[in-house]
Chain A
């Protein structure tokens, strides 16, 4: 029993240590610098492959379609299998999600809420106001947004890749990280790595298959 208990205790301690990253201090305030990252400005339809590393060492390969209107902060998102079977289809407009189709196990409210939050984190300029900007030690220039619900988003220019967006909950614990690893000449995210931190965390690697500018 002791043999089993000790590794479990160590791994739990490591897990708690890793998963409890909190909001870092901005060391040098630099309010006037240009934005660390430019989110999409016009309407696009994007097709990405999604390689998912899920809890319990499960993996999944999916195709994601996203039609985005950044000015209205609205989107139409579809998840499908490689074979073309639509698993999930949602329209998000005026802050209200309308689910057109959700095949189990993608039919839970937690899933749709989580998916929309992830997409908003990647594609939309954060809600709220910039409360601070400056340099994060050993990382890069950051703009810190605070929204009405108490969440904080750091948009950071990084040396490797294009940008990183960290999301912290109202308790200032890190919940999501989106890394824009590369982008097209038009500024469309080409490779994205999204990590959900904490218990039952997961990571997604999105790679652009096609992008269409929509009039």
Chain B
């Protein structure tokens, strides 16, 4: 899931500054992105749920490899990546505690994905096959290449506003009964983000 979080951020930074019609343009655009930050609302939809479960948070990204993905409510959780080092914190009875189980291997995959996307190697991704669908609402649809991953995630769909040139939402479908919708707001590009956001909890 942390891989997906990183994945979304990179996609967001790709497409949001200038709208692009093909992968080459997207890759070119990505190289101009130095930083991106946004708030997000996460809606979990399931057949079992009487109403969606809403989570809120924010993220920060600075090229080439600094990332903070933070949940603020209903529970607090922070993932930070900086200079190849990953840290994960989660809410406990005694406040935020470091998740020491954060597996080096998983973090390595995250970093590889980030580097790959930043270099515009969209089709080199070992986990997902990307498809660009243009129309009234443009979409990037990512489908898992591996069966073991497709048992967990059916697809990731990014909706792009051509008018505003920003990603409006990301829909992560697990199956017909369950999906997660991420809606972004207050998106900023190429603003200076203090390095401590990627190293410290506060």
Of A45, A84, A103, A205, which contacts B44 at CB under 8 A? A84
Residue pair A82, B55 in contact (C-beta under 8 Å): yes
Q: Quick one: which of A160-209 are within 8 Å of B by CB?
A: 205, 209
Q: Quick one: given A61-B91, A65-B48, A65-B49, are A82 and B71 in contact (CB under 8 Å)?
A: yes
Residue pair B178, A86 in contact (C-beta under 8 Å): yes
Chain B residues within 8 Å of chain A by Cβ, number:
32
Name which residue of chain B comes closest to A85, CB basis.
B1
Residue pair B49, A84 in contact (C-beta under 8 Å): no
Residue pair A86, B92 in contact (C-beta under 8 Å): no
Chain A interface secondary structure, helix, strand, loop or mixed? strand
Residue pair A49, B75 in contact (C-beta under 8 Å): yes
Shortest B4–chain A CB gap in Å is 7
Q: Looking at the complex, which of B17-25, B93-101, B159-167 is the stretch in contact with chain A? A: B93-101
Of B71, B93, B178, which contacts A205 at CB under 8 A? B93
The answer to the question of A133 belonging to the interface, with a C-beta cut-off of 8 Å to chain B, is no
Chain A residues within 8 Å of chain B by Cβ, number:
29
- The proximity string for A residues 79-90 relative to B, scoring 1 for CB distances below 8 Å and 0 otherwise, is 011111110010
The number of A-B residue pairs with CB atoms under 8 Å apart is 75
Q: Which residues of B contact A138 (CB under 8 A)?
A: none
Q: Quick one: given A59-B92, A59-B99, A83-B4, are A214 and B50 in contact (CB under 8 Å)?
A: yes
Q: Quick one: given A58-B101, A63-B53, A65-B49, are A84 and B74 in contact (CB under 8 Å)?
A: no
A63 to B90, CA, bound (A): 13
A51 to B77, CA, bound (A): 12
Name which residue of chain A comes closest to B88, CB basis.
A61
The answer to the question of B38 belonging to the interface, with a C-beta cut-off of 8 Å to chain A, is no
Name which residue of chain B comes closest to A58, CB basis.
B101
Q: Quick one: which of A113-168 are within 8 Å of B by CB?
A: none
The answer to the question of A76 belonging to the interface, with a C-beta cut-off of 8 Å to chain B, is yes
A57 to B4, CA, bound (A): 27
Q: Which residues of A contact B92 (CB under 8 A)?
A: 51, 59, 61
Name which residue of chain A comes closest to B89, CB basis.
A61
Q: Quick one: which of B41-62 are within 8 Å of A by CB?
A: 42, 44, 46, 48-51, 53, 55
9 example contacts (A-B, Cβ-Cβ < 8 A) are as follows A59-B99, A76-B48, A80-B44, A82-B71, A82-B90, A83-B1, A83-B5, A85-B152, A85-B153
**The 10 A-B residue pairs with the shortest CB-CB distance in the complex, in nearest-first order:** A84-B180, A61-B90, A83-B1, A84-B44, A212-B50, A209-B74, A49-B75, A82-B77, A85-B1, A45-B50
